[in-house]
Amino acid sequence: MNLQASEKHTHLSSASRRQHQDVDCLVLSELNPLVVVDHLDGEQATLTLLTFGNVREICPKCQQGNLKLVLRQTSVRMAHLFCADCESCFDARYADGAPALTI
């Protein structure tokens, strides 16, 4: 059920130019969670993240968790990958620098 996006990507790129050799090879870079997610002041603020399934990448920081895809939503400013184990956020790009998470 996952990775409809990569299917689409493959289709598009094979139509125009030769396909990126490896769609699955993503470059992950850690993001500051304070930048990615709105942190509300006040004690009643409970942050609820909607995730959209696991991706194949393993967290590069703790090497434990499968990263989860988090798309933009109420308190999330940009799509990113999230590790629930160490609570880190990562940006994902293709090897050529194109953002991998924009839809």
61 binds Zn ion (CB under 5 A): yes
83 binds Zn ion (CB under 5 A): yes
Q: Which is nearer to Zn ion, 82 or 100 (CB)?
A: 82
Separation of alpha carbons 60 and 65, rounded Å: 9
Choice from 12, 50, 86, 95 touching Zn ion (CB under 5 A): 86
Query: Which two structure tokens, joined as six digits, stand for 9?
Result: 């990507």
Q: Under DSSP, is residue 75 helix (H, G, I), strand (E, B) or coil?
A: coil
Q: What residues contact 81, with CB distance under 8 A and at least 6 apart?
A: 28, 55, 57, 67, 68, 69, 70, 89, 90, 91, 92, 101
For residues 12 to 51, the per-residue mask of contacts with Zn ion, x marking binding by CB under 5 A and - elsewhere, is: ----------------------------------------
By the criterion CB under 5 A, which residues form the site for Zn ion? 59, 61-62, 65, 83, 85-86
